[in-house]
Structure 1
Amino acid sequence: MDVLNIGCGAGFSGDRLDAPGPVVQTLIARGGPAALIFETLAERTLAFAQIARRHDPAKGYEALLQPLLRPVLADCLAHGVTVVGNFGAANPPGAARAIAALAAELGLPAPRIAVIEGDDLSARADAQDMLREWLGERFDEKRFVSASVYQGAFEIAQAIRDGAQIVVAGRVADPSLTLGPAIAHFGWSPDDWDMLAGATMAGHLLECGAQVTGGYYADPGRKDVPGMDNVGFPIAQIAADGSCIVGKAEGTGGVVNAMTVKEQLLYEVHDPSAYLTPDVVADLSEASVQELGPDRVRLSGVKGHPRPPTLKAAAFFEGGWAGDAEISYAGPNAEGRARLSMDILRKRLGQQLQLRFDLIGVCSILGDDAGRLLARTPAGQATDVRLRAAARHADPAQIDRLHREVTALWTGGPAGGGGVKTSKRQRLDMANFLLPREQAPAAYRFIDPESHS
């Protein structure tokens, strides 16, 4: 049977560096056409990348790009495993040059690297006029940083058909990383809706890495997963009709079963009958999930409908600064001392900063920014409490003041405080909108590693 094996090497920026190795070795052992995807770009990650590029135009791509690829690049090139990733983030050409430099450092022949273009709306001459039209009053010219649109799979596919061994993208839809190699391999047309939808959902199963192999599923005593310390990353065997069999890298921990697949299938899907992507609208209402054996689950029956007329886009604006500071209290009356510190900070800073407080060990994760739940939580006798105070402000000096005030609690607050830690980071605000797809055409080009454009 004509199949394409596609493995996932990363499910987010900062994922484990040893994850791609077993995936690549499994792809090589299976033989036949194969691809390896890296999904490292969330909307928040792209915002951080835009900030990095503003500080240094040579940066703005995945910071761990070379460590991720170093262990597997030679094997992928030697065995014809196509690499596709959105690790270009805010600077795909920079990422392509970094990969070329890594190949040269490893003594490998120069790979053919294609870059997907068209997602960075802010690079266009008419960007601000277009954004004013589509954002209206939400567009703030003084604070504007960048804007990006989600692109699809067909340019990835064409680049592979034209000989790309590595395809570097920025803001493309996550499942399009998988759909692109599948289109290139099977030769699907833009209106082969069922095939496109099936492979899109295969990509959706792969895109979050170990989530489908037990990582996001495990709940000890309820849903036990073996070998979580070495959880394997997923591989999808895609067939010509768009169906797939999901498994994982050989010799690794984790599990793939009907439950892990169903959980990931519905992850971040608002309407299972109409999952919108740039390439197709996928309908899961008649999908079938069937266990074929250990770590082998077949997904079939996904239907496809014509792609939406619009693409999702996001504009980023300077959003000031965010910071937090923490201090610990332990022993008798620790909670009382932490609550007194909270009161001190509120009285000293509450006129200038809107503060969020968490009492870690009492009320934190389930708390709200306004502190309503914490206010309703009766004081108890917790003996291991960490106070966290957080705020955001346009002036970074106000965040610095928060840091100083928490640090001052060491000697100017209740007894026994210690272990102060502080952090400060620049923020970006984001505004989403829908853009007619004809206003944001995608393209690709091959990169000359010696070029700086």
Structure 2
Amino acid sequence: MIRLGAGAGYSGDRVEPAVELAEHGQLDFLIFECLAERTIAIAQQARRKDPQQGYDPLLEGRMRAVLPVAVKNGVRIVSNMGAANPVAAAKRTAQIARELGLRALKIAAVTGDDVLDAVLSGPWRFEETGDGVAAYRDRIASANAYLGATPIVGALDAGADIVLTGRVADPSLFTAPLIHAFGWRMDDWMTLGQATVIGHLLECAGQVTGGYFADPGFKDVPDLARLGFPIGEVTADGAVTVTKVAHAGGRVSTATCKEQLLYEIHDPVRYLQPDVVADFTGVEVTEIAPDRVRVTGGRGSAPPPTLKVSVGYVDGFIGEGQISYGGPGAVARAQLALQIVRERLALTGVKTSELRFDVIGVDSLYGDTLSAGEPAEVRVRVAGRTDTILEAQRIGNEVETLYTNGPAGGGGVTKSARDVLAVQSVLLPRELVQPTFTFVET
């Protein structure tokens, strides 16, 4: 049996549950999944400003907290915290290990997901809009292919204690240690299909132990402030039992596992991954004891000849301003505030391609389709998309002037202006993507 622990489900996730897993989970591997679609585009921007940056901003905090316990208990680490700069992440991790006085660790960096040159040089079109990529050339910030398990398996086979990657398909972070440990063939599609089920169940960490599941009075989950992250107990045939550390908060049940199984799945018959096309329709979920759920029945077939590439590009700017109103007549004053800002933006000639005027607490989510009576407090929000940062700043400035030029009793103004990083996808032939791994000096 191999025990996998999920140490993070996104870049800003809690650190304490990962430490708890490393200390009490009797793990073989601890996996941190920290990379979303826009996250890596932001990381690429950071790397351009400083060649030594571009990895996950919480890498140092996580490694300082987890490494001493993981090394003591023989837990190996796999993570995509390398983001746009896996080599720099691996070097920084080695430095942290030395500073902590730990034994020499074998730390590998997986590279090859950065395919910006290939994307810019080919006749590719975006899958979402059909636009030619070439038309976006001057705005593109990143292009990263979703790698599979192969380079991670290679690094683990070579003795890596820690493997840090860039863009890798989320389930592949979990399937790779299993392929390494059990010696599964990379063309054993049925087993890799079940392994993808395992990775998909664990990749979002606290979601499968009740975090995203909780709904008071309908789906109660105990002790969420001390939510424990999941453990997958996997046997050589691919069967998994999802559980958690006994004393940790949260809950593992058939319901939490089924909800996570359906999360972000477009076609359960053909869940496209770089390692396999997984079929979830035969999956069986059985609660065998409290906080112990057995999952079997994943299947698979050969993967497609292309790899998905996330292309991040600058798509204009967003300016925003907010202000609150409370007490009797709060909604009427908020609506008057919006009317004032709407007229001011037109009078001063602020150029926008999109504008939103919301009364948060009344119409910001559902428009005017719901009516819940008069709230005691509301928050006004005005947001617009512009072509320049200066135009974006003018939107927040107009909201701020409501302090002294608008309805009575406004307070708590915030304003911001930022660039927009959008993401679209390209399908790139596999032969144009050459993943590899290297060990850093420790």
TM-score strictly above 0.5: yes
Q: Structure 1: where are the runs of 5+ without partners?
A: 367-372
Alignment match of 2:49 (pick from 55, 59, 65): 55
Aligned-pair CA distance for 1:378: 7.6
Aligned-pair CA distance for 1:243: 1.2
Deviations 1:186-240 (A, max 9, x none): 0111111121111111111110011000001111111111111111100001111
1:128 paired with 2:120, answer yes
Give the corresponding residue for 1:259. Answer: 255
Report SS of the residue matched to 1:299: strand
Aligned-pair CA distance for 1:133: 3.5
Report SS of the residue matched to 1:19: helix
Aligned-pair CA distance for 1:82: 1.1
Report SS of the residue matched to 2:341: helix
Report SS of the residue matched to 1:25: helix
Q: What letter is aligned with 2:281?
A: S
Q: How many Å separate the matches in 1 of 2:324 and 2:84? A: 38
Alignment match of 2:312 (pick from 294, 312, 316): 316
CA contact (8 A) 1:194 1:242 kept: no
Deviations 1:69-91 (A, max 9, x none): 21210221233211000111111
Q: How many Å separate the matches in 2 of 1:64 and 1:19? A: 14
Give the corresponding residue for 2:76. Answer: 82
Report SS of the residue matched to 2:208: helix
Q: Evaluate the alpha carbon distance shift between residue 342 and residue 321 of structure 1 in structure 2; reply closer, same or farther with a 3 A threshold.
A: same
Q: Evaluate the alpha carbon distance shift between residue 231 and residue 380 of structure 1 in structure 2; reply closer, same or farther with a 3 A threshold.
A: closer
Give the corresponding residue for 2:377. Answer: 384
CA contact (8 A) 2:22 2:73 kept: no
Alignment match of 2:219 (pick from 211, 223, 234): 223
Q: Structure 2: where are the runs of 5+ without partners?
A: none
1:363 paired with 2:357, answer no
Q: What letter is aligned with 1:13?
A: S
Q: CA RMSD in A?
A: 1.7
Segment drifting more, 74-83 vs 292-301: 74-83
Q: What letter is aligned with 2:132?
A: E
Q: What letter is aligned with 2:410?
A: G
Q: How many Å separate the matches in 1 of 2:191 and 2:23? A: 28
Aligned-pair CA distance for 1:35: 0.3
Q: How many Å separate the matches in 1 of 2:370 and 2:191? A: 53
Aligned-pair CA distance for 1:110: 2.9
Q: Evaluate the alpha carbon distance shift between residue 255 and residue 380 of structure 1 in structure 2; reply closer, same or farther with a 3 A threshold.
A: closer
Q: Evaluate the alpha carbon distance shift between residue 414 and residue 45 of structure 1 in structure 2; reply closer, same or farther with a 3 A threshold.
A: same
Q: How many Å separate the matches in 2 of 1:250 and 1:380? A: 45
Report SS of the residue matched to 2:132: helix
1:407 paired with 2:400, answer yes
1:69 paired with 2:81, answer no
Deviations 1:60-105 (A, max 9, x none): 1110111112121022123321100011111111211221121111
Aligned-pair CA distance for 1:272: 1.2
Identical counterparts, % of pairs: 47
Give the TM-score, by structure 1 length. Answer: 0.92
Q: How many Å separate the matches in 1 of 2:152 and 2:162? A: 10
CA contact (8 A) 1:336 1:379 kept: no
Report SS of the residue matched to 1:175: helix
Report SS of the residue matched to 1:50: helix
CA contact (8 A) 2:324 2:412 kept: yes
What count of residue pairs does the alignment treat as equivalent? 433
Deviations 1:230-259 (A, max 9, x none): 111000011111111100123101000111
Segment drifting more, 298-307 vs 316-325: 316-325
CA contact (8 A) 1:153 1:179 kept: yes
Give the corresponding residue for 2:194. Answer: 198
1:36-435 matches, within 5 Å, as 36-122=30-116, 124=117, 126-130=118-122, 132-135=123-126, 137-139=132-134, 140-350=136-346, 351=349, 352-353=351-352, 354-366=354-366, 373-374=367-368, 381-435=374-428
Q: How many Å separate the matches in 2 of 1:419 and 1:134? A: 45
Q: How many Å separate the matches in 2 of 1:345 and 1:54? A: 37
Give the corresponding residue for 1:437. Answer: 430
1:3-42 matches, within 5 Å, as 3-28=1-26, 34-42=28-36
Once superposed, which parts of structure 1, at least 4 consecutive aligned residues long, lie more than 4 Å away?
A: 376-380
Q: What letter is aligned with 1:129?
A: S
Q: What letter is aligned with 2:210?
A: G
Q: Evaluate the alpha carbon distance shift between residue 111 and residue 294 of structure 1 in structure 2; reply closer, same or farther with a 3 A threshold.
A: same
Deviations 1:386-431 (A, max 9, x none): 1011112221111211121111100011111110012222222222
Report SS of the residue matched to 1:71: helix
CA contact (8 A) 2:12 2:58 kept: yes
CA contact (8 A) 1:22 1:250 kept: no
Give the corresponding residue for 1:447. Answer: 440
Aligned-pair CA distance for 1:357: 1.7
Give the TM-score, by structure 2 length. Answer: 0.94
CA contact (8 A) 2:320 2:383 kept: yes
Q: How many Å separate the matches in 2 of 1:82 and 1:301? A: 27
Segment drifting more, 439-448 vs 182-191: 439-448
